[in-house]
Amino acid sequence: MTRIVLAQIEPALGDLRRNLALHEAEVAAARASDAQLVVFPELSLTGYFLKDLVAEVALATGEGPLARLAELSRDITIAAGFAERARDGRVYNTLGLFEDGRMVGAHRKVHLVTYGMFDEARDFAPGERFRAIDSKLGRFGVLVCEDMWHLDGMWLHFLAGVDAILACSASPARGARAGEAQPRSQRTWTTIQDAAAVLTQSHVVYCNRVGCEDGIVFGGGSRVVGPDGVEVARLDGLEPGRLACELDASLVRRVRTITPLRRDEKPQLVLRDLRALEDAEEA
């Protein structure tokens, strides 16, 4: 059993100092509750609709707030979001995993969202790979927001045999039709989380933010689904909150024993078909 806490926070827009303090408080609370892992939302250190602020809040590996998160991770694993400035100047929407005093892995958001109210590809460079991150708590597949809306990331993490998918977002609440209890956006998220859990036979740990940026209200709804597709825990409402629960490794093993999806997966077939598709397009 892995004891985790989801920190459904309300980051301030472009204020690294305040957001770092928020992380420190959440980590302290998680540690006090004896959690082993605390998960924050997408861009938790910076806020979301950054636009030109991206250049001002982007952090190089080991810089100030990231060094502090590493320091805080000596006795608890931390997953937190930030704008990452790479050596070559590109800035990524990154989720880092901090453990034992250092950043042990990071995922750069691959599927930047650039439609409707979103303009990420204007401000960020896209990540170029999905790689599982090995932690002392298990193998994690990180997906940032829109990464969850595509099959590729969760499929590659499934092939890599992750124990849990850490899905972090900054998703606004949209749609409030009569007869529907939740915003349309949140119901879609729930469908995706359930499907991802069932199809990858992993825990799906979904941490969304709350709060408001220029009239856009983030929907919260942080949630954990088991590898059997059954909801483990969730947070309702639009307020900041902490969601504590356990990830059951035994359940992952048993689900995969009963229904051996990974054994029957055919990645080589997909590889051949993708190559054939590419050849056909080039012809």
Q: Give the shortest CB-229-to-other proteins separation in angstroms.
A: 25
Q: Which is nearer to other proteins, 123 or 163 (CB)?
A: 123
Q: Which is nearer to other proteins, 119 or 194 (CB)?
A: 119
Q: Give the shortest CB-81-to-other proteins separation in angstroms.
A: 18
Residues 6+ apart with CB under 8 A from 49: 13, 213, 214, 216
Q: Which 3 state secondary structure label does DSSP give 233?
A: strand
243 backbone dihedrals φ, ψ, rounded to 5°? -120, 115
Contact 48, 85 (CB under 8 A): no
Q: Give the shortest CB-49-to-other proteins separation in angstroms.
A: 5
Query: Which chain residues interact with other proteins by CB under 8 A?
Result: 10, 12-15, 49, 51-53, 173, 176-183, 211-215, 217, 237-238
Q: Which is nearer to other proteins, 4 or 54 (CB)?
A: 54
Q: Which is nearer to other proteins, 138 or 211 (CB)?
A: 211
Q: Give the shortest CB-24-to-other proteins separation in angstroms.
A: 20
Q: Which is nearer to other proteins, 234 or 256 (CB)?
A: 234
Q: Which 3 state secondary structure label does DSSP give 238?
A: coil
Q: Which is nearer to other proteins, 2 or 46 (CB)?
A: 46
- What single DSSP character describes residue 182? S
Q: Give the shortest CB-179-to-other proteins separation in angstroms.
A: 6
Q: What is the distance between the alpha carbons of residues 228 and 158, in angstroms, rounded to a whole number?
A: 14
**Of 106, 142, 123, nearest in space to 56 by CA:** 123
**Of 75, 93, 72, 74, nearest in space to 84 by CA:** 93
Calculate the CA dihedral of residues 116, 122, 125, 130 and round it to 10 degrees. 0
Q: What is the distance between the alpha carbons of residues 109 and 62, in angstroms, rounded to a whole number?
A: 19
**Of 193, 261, 232, nearest in space to 1 by CA:** 232
Q: Give the shortest CB-210-to-other proteins separation in angstroms.
A: 8
Contact 81, 48 (CB under 8 A): no
